[in-house]
Chain A
Amino acid sequence: MSDAVTLQGVSKVFGDVYAVRDLDLAIGDGEFFSLLGPSGCGKTTTLRMIAGFEFPTQGSLRLHGVEMALQPPNQRPVNTVFQSYALFPHMTVEENVGFGLRMKKVAGAEIVERVRRALDMVQLTHRATASSKQLSGGQQQRVALARALVNEPEVLLLDEPLGALDLKLRQAMQTELKDLQERVGITFIYVTHDQEEALTMSDRIGVMNEGRLLQVGTPQDIYEQPTSRFVAGFIGEINLLPATIVDHESVRLAGGRLVAATTGAAAGSEVTVAVRPERLSLFGLGETVPARLNAVRGRIVRRVYFGDVFYYDVDTPDGVIEVKEENRPGVALHEIGEEAVVAWDPAATTVVES
C-alpha cells in the first residue's frame, strides 16, 4: 500500500529565504504524524504545501501516489483544521460543517445526514443552528474539526489546533483528538510547537528547525535517542556536556572524567554528551555508587521544590548538571552545599554533535 503523503526533495523559497529545504518524508496511511519545531522552523509552510496554499519551489508531493504539488487546494483530498479555526462568521454551525459537501455537490439529504453525524461525533448537535460567532473557543474548535472530517478526507491537516485553548481544555482535547483519530482511521498531520502535545498524541514525530527536517521517529526515539544537539535540547529538559571522543565506548568530559557512552564519530572529535535530568541519581559521599554507572562528583548549588519532584543543580568540573529526583519515600533528600555524586546508566547517555 502506498503512503498517504510522500514528500521528495521539497523546498520552499520565499524571496531568498529557504522556509523549507530538501524535505524528504513519507507518512503512512492512518498514521498520527506530528511536525514539531519552534516558530519559523518551516513546519507550517510544510503543512500549507500539503494543503495546497503554497506550492513547493521544487520537489515532489504525492498523496496516495498521485502527484499533487501544483494542484489547487480545492482539488486535493485533504482538509485542514486551522489554528484560528477560520469558521465562516456569516454561517451557522451546520452551514459551516456542510460547506465542503455543498461544494462537492453531494445530494441534499446526504448532506443533512452527514452533517448530523459529524456534529454528533463532536457532541455539538444541540448547537447546530447557532451562529458560529456565538460559540466558545472549545466549541469553535470542535466545529472546525467536524467541518473538516465530514468530508472524509484522505489526510487531515491540523495547524496548532489547540493553541488558542486554555490548559485544561487543551489537555482534554488532546485525548479526544487522539481517540477520534483512532476511531476514524484517517491520517492526521499535526503541526505544533508544543512537545508535550507531540509526544502524547503522535505515532511518529518529525522535528524541524530552520527549514530542515532533523529527525523522524516515534516519540520514544525522539526523546530517548536524539540524533542532534537541537533535537536533544528542544524536547524536554536535558544536560548538554561538552566532551571528546576517546573510543567506541567512552568519551572524556571537559573536566577530565571518562564516561561510558556509545559513540559514532572518530576518536578525538569534539562532541556533546546529552543526559536527561530524570535519568540521573544523586548519591551522598558515604554511599556506594554501582561501578557500572557513569559518575561525576560535585557540589549541590541549588535545590528547587516542584511538589512531585526536586530539581538539584550540581556544580561539577564538567559543568553544572541538573538532576531531577522524585519526591517519594526512599529517595534521600540532599541539602545545598553538600558534596554529592551524580550517577547515571551508560545506556541513558546520548552523544550528539558539539
Chain B
Amino acid sequence: MNDEVAVARPELEEAARRAESRRGFLIALPAWFYLTLFFVIPLGIVAVYSFATRSSTGRTILGDWNLNAYRRLWDSLVVEIAARTLVLALVTTLICLLLAYPLAYYMATRRPMVRNILLILVMIPFWSNFLVRTYAWKVLLGSDGPVSQLSQALGGEPIRLLFTNTAVLIGLVYGFLPFMVLPLYAALERMDWGLVEAARDLYAGGWTAFRKVTWPLSLPGVMAGSILVFIPTLGAYVTPAILGGAKTTLAGDYIVSQFLAARNQPFGSALSMGMMLIMLAATIVYFRWFRPSGRDL
C-alpha cells in the first residue's frame, strides 16, 4: 500500500532543477545587463573598429575591412613601446613582490588585533584619490622636491627624477603595492604554521623551512598578487602620463594618442586588442599553472 511512496518522479525533480536555474538567472540579470552594456558591447565596437579603415581626414570608415591596423603592430616603434611597457610591468611586479612579501609575512605572523590594524594601514591609501596621490609624487620627485633637496643638502647635484622611467616605476610600485600585499597576506594568513614547525622538527633550518614549505604554499598568493599588479601596470595610463617623460611613451599613452591626437581609431583599436591578448595569456598561464584545484585565491 505504500508502493506509491517509492515511485521516483523524475519530472518533478527536473522541474525543481529548472526552477532553481531560473532563479539563479534572475539574480544574475542586473550583472549581466551591466556587463553587456558597458563591457561586451564596447569591446565588440573596439574589435570591429580594429578591422576598419581610416579615411585621410581621420574618420573611421566602417567597411572595406582589412588587417592593416594589425600589420602595423609589428612596426619597430610599436614593438619598442610594447617591450618597454612589458619590462616596466615586469619590473614593477617584481619590486612589488620583493617589498610586499616581507610585509605580508610580518602581518600574517602578528596577533589578530595587530594584523587588523596593519591591514587597515595597507588600505588607507585607497581612501584618497589615485590621481591626487600621483600628483603628490610629482611634487616629491620634482627638482624642488625633498629628494633633490636632500641630495643638495648633502653637497650633491640637484636630482630630478620627474619625467623619467624611474619616476613612473616609483609611481606604479607605490600605486599597486597594496594589490600585491593583500593576496600575499591572505595566502600567508591562511597557512598552517604547524607545517613550518613540522619542517623544523624534520631538521630543516629556518631558511630551508621557508624555501620548502612557506614559499611553495604561498605561491597562489604570489601569482594572484603578480597578476593583480602586472595587468593594470601593463595598461597604466595615469601614472606615466603624469610622472613620465615624452621620450618614454608607454602602451597606454600610445593608445590614447592614437584615438585623440592621431585620430586613428582602427590602429588604436588594434593596439588595444593586442594588449588584451597579452593580458589574457598572462591570466591563462596563471589559471593553468597555479590554480589546478581552483580552490585558492
Chain A residues packing against B (C-beta within 8 Å): 51-53, 72-75, 78-80, 82, 84, 86-90, 99-100, 103-104, 147-148, 151
Contact = CB atoms under 8 A, between A and B. Distances in A.
29 contacts: A51-B197, A51-B201, A52-B200, A53-B197, A73-B201, A74-B201, A74-B202, A74-B204, A75-B203, A78-B201, A79-B201, A82-B194, A82-B197, A82-B198, A86-B192, A86-B194, A86-B197, A88-B195, A88-B198, A89-B217, A90-B216, A90-B217, A99-B199, A99-B202, A100-B203, A103-B204, A103-B208, A104-B203, A151-B202
A282 B206 CA distance: 63
A15 to B, nearest CB: 12
A103 B195 contact: no
B197 A103 contact: no
Contacts of B203: 74-75, 100, 103-104, 151
A137 B11 CA distance: 40
Nearest to A72: B200
A99 B204 CA distance: 9
A100 B197 CA distance: 12
Contact of B200 (A73, A88, A148): A73
A85 to B, nearest CB: 9
Contact of B205 (A52, A74, A99): A74
Interface of B: 192, 194-195, 197-206, 208, 212-213, 216-217
A211 to B, nearest CB: 22
B137 to A, nearest CB: 40
Contacts of B198: 80, 82, 86-88
Given A84-B192, A99-B204, 13 more contacts: A51-B197, A51-B201, A72-B200, A86-B198, A88-B213, A99-B202, A99-B212, A103-B202, A103-B203, A103-B204, A148-B201, A151-B202, A151-B203
Nearest to A105: B203
A147 to B, nearest CB: 7
Contacts of A51: 197, 201
Give the most central of A51, A103, A147: most B CB within 10 Å: A103
A52 B200 CA distance: 9
Contacts of A104: 203
A73 B197 contact: yes
A89 B213 CA distance: 9
B32 to A, nearest CB: 36
Q: When A and B form their complex, which 8 residue pairs have the shortest distance between CB atoms, in order from nearest?
A: A100-B202, A86-B198, A103-B203, A73-B200, A86-B194, A74-B203, A80-B201, A99-B202
A89 B296 CA distance: 13
Nearest to B195: A86
B202 A79 contact: yes
Nearest to B196: A86
Contacts of B201: 51-53, 73-74, 78-80, 148
A87 B192 CA distance: 10
Contacts of B194: 82, 84, 86
Contacts of B200: 52-53, 72-74
A74 B198 CA distance: 10
